[in-house]
Structures are given as C-alpha cells and as structure tokens.
Structure 1
C-alpha cells in the first residue's frame, strides 16, 4: 500500500491510500474524515462510492457530517445529559431537547493532528485530537489502513485522564452506483441482526425489539421497498432506516448494488451500528460529483449507542484509561 500526503492552504492536509489493485482512499485532517473511496465495478471501472463535499473548506462546517469521525459521543443523547461516574453533565441541546453527535463538544469540524505510523509491518494514517471541557478530557485517535483485499480498517483509540463516556463512530455515506444521479433505492441490505432499538417520536431509542417485517434483513431488503413502507418506525425516521441494530457473534451488514456489482460489508467489534439511509439529505447539500437529494447515501455507523445510559443493554458507554475498537469495510464485486 502507498500513502501520499498533500498539504493544502490554511493547514488542511489530505492523505491518499492506494493498494496494488487500484483501490484508493482519500482522507482529510478536518474531522479525520473519509472524503473518497474509489473501488471498481464488475467491469473494473473505478468510482468514488462515498459522498463528499464540493470543496475541502466545506468540511469546516459539514452540516451532514459527510465522512467525519464523530466524537466524543455519536448519535442522540436523551435530554442532552450524559452521566459519568454517577455525576450528570448537561450540554446545550441541538436536536429538539436532545444532543446530536456531541453538539458544540464535537470534533467533526476541527483540525486533528496527523501522522503516518507503522504497526506490525502495516503503514497507517493516524489522526488524533483532545476533547477539552468534557469529562475525563479524552484523547481520541483513529487509524486508517488499507489492505490488498480492498478492506479499509478503522481503529479507534481513546485515552482518558479520568472517568469519561465515549461513543465514537465514522459517518461516511456510501452510494455504490456508478451513475452519479441515482439514489440508493436500488441497493439491497442484508444482515443477520435479530434485534433493533425501537425509537420514540423524537428518535430516542426506548425498547429492544425483534427484527420482524421491514426490519428482518436475513434474506435481504431492497431499500426502495423500505422507503415505500408504511411501518410506523420507518415513518418516524422520515421514510427510511435510522435505527440501531444490535450485533452478536458473527453478525454483520452487507449492502449490494446489482447494476455495478459492488458490495460493501461491515464487520466490527462494537456491539451494534446505526443503519441510516439518508432520509434527511436534501437538494441544498453542496455535494461534489453526485446529485444532492434525499436517499443519496447510506451510513453504517458502528458504535456504542448512547441509549445504553437510559436502557437496560448488555453494554455501557462509560470507560476510563484506554479504549480500543475497530471497524472494517470490505469491498467486493459480484459477477
């Protein structure tokens, strides 16, 4: 794998990872963001299969979190209140009464420190930032590496000076189509996940439910079928998925687009992920290359859900000392 570093104006740094098959990944120090993943279709033609802003400067605002690393807490925090070591900390709400993607404490639009490191013979791009004015003053790092089998690995490391509550993720949007004006309605999603978190009217998880009906992904679901479904939970999320699926054992998610033949599979040691189908994207989004519109991309946000603080789940959000998790996106082609 080759790694090239590009310096732009105003401290913006871009990295390009490329393997011998021609797959290319583009990264940015603003928000430790993924700005490009170029993978072949069944005919060998490369396309950038992630949504990106139309300029690097746009990542200083990045209203839809395109490709950004979200920290300290991804997702919606009920009543904008986080409990750490028995003490409640209140934050300014930015999503009704709740806190979305850390609000003002978030680092998705900040400059992260960058470096190329080598671990076990593998070169990686490492981004690091410290989060001041947050319990435990956590230092968050994400390491990106690309292998010869078209797998992009994301490794999260969190160090804290004391008790903290962290739940990072990456918010990259995928669209596997070669046609830049086509939405993800023609994609198929499949997963062995058997449980998901049902949400209330403000999109806060309130109960654990069995994956039935439109949430049963064992045999796969066409996303267009999901968008047209009348299930109350689909309506709550503005016409698609925006739900946390619990993962167990070998559970994973895979999304396939039949025209190009492209498939992306996510595996992770996080306890679950939010599968989001771009229900709130709009035509005002400053996108490069692709047409901005609803359902233009989907996210697979592997993370610890902040709902663990108010629900009886098998895991929690609090941590202290060193915290490590990883997520892998594997790209392949169905002939």
Structure 2
C-alpha cells in the first residue's frame, strides 16, 4: 500500500492512495475533492468510476461540486436564512432565492491541511480545517476533520468529525458522482439501486423541501426491492419533472443506512453503509453538456451522487433529521463505500 503526492498547478497537491489490490483513490487538498477512483470490473479491468475534470483548473469554480467535501451545510437552505436560539442568520443567496452547499466559499472551495497516514492494512488522509465564527454567515468557531481511509478490502471509508463553540447547523457530505460503467462509457440509466427507505422528502419547484414526507409505495421512489434509475427518468410524475426528470431527493433510512448500486455491464457493485439518517440521491439531471471530463464530455445522467447527511429541511420544518450541533457535543459520522463485482 502506498501514497503518491503530486503538485497540481503550482498551488495544490493531489494525493493518490493505493491498496494491494490495485484500487486507488485520488484526492486534492483543494476542497478535499476526490478526482479519481480506480476499481476493477468483473474481468479485472481497472477503470475510473467517478466524474472528474480533464483540466484541474476547472476545479477552481467546480459549480457541480464534483467529488468535493460539502459544508457547512450540504443541500439547500430555504430563503438562505435560518433561526437558532432566537437569532436569525442570513447566508449567501447562490441558488435562486436559497443557499446551496455552504455557498461559494464553503468547504468545497478552499485548501484543507492534509496529513497522510499508513496503518498495517490501510492508507489514508486526515484533512483538517478551522472555520471561524461568521464564515459564510454561519455562527460559531468550528474545527473540522475529514478522514479518507482505503483498505485492502477495496473499502473507502470517510469519517467526519467536528466541534463548535456555539450552537450551529452542520451537515457534511461528499459530493462524488459515481458511474460504475467505468471511464464514462454510458450514462447511469441502467444502474440498479437498492435503498432501505420507505419515505422521501417532497420538493417544491425550487427544489426546497415542502415539509412533507411521502411514502415510496407504488412509485418510482420505491427502491426497497431495487430498481433501475431509468424508471424515474422516464416517469412523468410531478416530483420527477421539477428536478429535470430525475432524482434530487432526500431519502430517510428505515434502519441503518444501506444502499447497493449495481451495474450489469461491468459487474461492478458499490455498497454504501452509513450512520447518517438519510441521503440525497442526485442523478445529474442538471449536468450540462460540453464540460471536458477526464474520459469525455459531460452530459445529463452521467453520474449519480449519494449524499449521506442530515436534512437542512430540519431548519424550517419539524420531523426531519436534525443538523444542529451544540457546543457540548461532537459531530461524528461515517460513510463507507465498498467496491466489488458479481
């Protein structure tokens, strides 16, 4: 197992974690961005299974948040404001009238301090950042650590840790777009997804939660027994239409967070396990054409994000997974991505 470090554009570093099975994960210190994940298909062919830019300079703006750590809050905050402890806080308006993914200077758009590490059976990176009181409009001094660990079982484990000195909202995630075909040969239409979830969060036309939970039964949002993503792409129901004919919805897990993704062509299987209460599944409905990616040009439905996190809807509605962190508690979450074949 080893770690390679490469200078990028004279200002960033890219760390490539490699295990003894040939799997590798490449990460920038800028935004903690996962730029590449190389895993074998059923014939042993190593290919990249995440979306990334061909030109590293494009990560500077990265409006699609390819591979990035997102925070302080992942997702949309209604009207770019929230109230806590009797005080109203105003945030950057960067998505219609709302606030998206921590804003233009969120966790996805600065350089993290990186400390590589080796253990007996893993390699990894510990990324740390101090976010000062008032950053992006959010209260509280927040110390954040995100750890990427790659082991010999072809598991990529992401651990999130944070503390604060004031009550503040915090919901961290990684925004990688997965495509198990490998090297972007096809869209994700035929990716077969299983999600342990009986309810999803209804959205309005601005993609803001309405406050209503919807049962998945008898709909294209029912992934409990598994279904292909194209079922939703081709469905004309209102919840699909407002997202651009796809998925951009928060699913609340019934039990422990468990998601299985299969691609029949490559035989690749991705299993996601998390202690987060839910997940936004986003199927790149808004991905425009013509971006130069590592293996080709961008287009709609070219990847799928599994944003395991709390729900920012809890800032405006009751009954949603909480995102408030209190000074006397620690934020401590884990999501594991396991790669295999069948």
TM-score by shorter chain over 0.5: yes
Indicate which of 222, 235, 239 corresponds to 2:228. 222
Q: 1:266 aligns with which of 260, 263, 272?
A: 272
By how many angstroms is 1:130 displaced?
A: 2.1
The question of 1:160 aligning with 2:164 is answered yes
Where does residue 276 of structure 1 map in the other structure? Answer: 282
Could you tell me how far apart the structure 2 residues matched to 1:160 and 1:105 are?
19
**Distance between the aligned counterparts of 2:22 and 2:38, measured in 1?**
8
Partner of residue 36, structure 2:
36
Deviation at 1:69, TM superposition (A): 0.3
Question: Which SS does the other structure have where 1:64 is aligned?
Answer: coil
Q: Give 3-state SS (helix, strand or coil) of 1:59's partner.
A: helix
Aligned equivalent of 2:331:
323
- Give, in angstroms, the shift of residue 161 of structure 1: 2.3
Give the length in aligned residue pairs: 334
Residues in 2 aligned to 1:116 and 1:178: alpha-carbon distance in whole angstroms: 27
More displaced stretch, 100-109 vs 202-211: 100-109
Shift of 1:60: 1.2
Q: Distance in 1 between matches of 2:181 and 2:207?
A: 29
2:206 counterpart residue number: 202
Q: Which residue of 1 aligns with 2:110?
A: 110
Aligned partner of 1:180 in structure 2 is 184
Q: Which runs of 5+ in 1 are unaligned?
A: none
Q: 1:58, 1:297 → 2: CA distance?
A: 18
Distance 1:283 1:216, change over 3 A: same
In the alignment, the residues of structure 2 paired with residue 10 and residue 85 of structure 1 have an alpha-carbon distance, to the nearest angstrom, of 44
Deviates more, 1:44-53 or 1:136-145: 136-145
For residues 315 and 184 of structure 1, the distance between their equivalents in structure 2, rounded to whole angstroms, comes to 28
> How far apart in 2 are the matches of 1:166 and 1:332?
32
Counterpart-to-counterpart distance in 2, 1:88 and 1:117: 41
Query: Which residue of structure 2 aligns with residue 137 of structure 1?
Result: 141
Provide the C-alpha distance between the structure 2 equivalents of 1:228 and 1:128, rounded to a whole number of angstroms. 42
CA distance in 1, matches of 2:183, 2:31: 28
Q: Output aligned runs, 1:20-35, within 5 Å.
A: 20-35=20-35
Query: Unmatched 5+ residue regions in structure 2?
Result: none
Name the Cα RMSD after superposition.
1.7
Query: After superposition, what is the alpha-carbon deviation per residue over 1:90-123, rounded to whole angstroms, capped at 9, x for unaligned?
Result: 1121111111111134121211111124679854
Say which is worse superposed, 21-30 or 5-14, in terms of deviation.
5-14
Q: Residues 232-251 of structure 1, C-alpha deviation per residue, up to 9 Å, x if partnerless? A: 10111111010000013234
Could you say if the C-alpha distance between residues 29 and 326 of structure 1 is closer, same or farther in structure 2, counting changes exceeding 3 Å? same
Report if aligned partners of 2:49, 2:184 keep a CA contact under 8 Å in 1: no
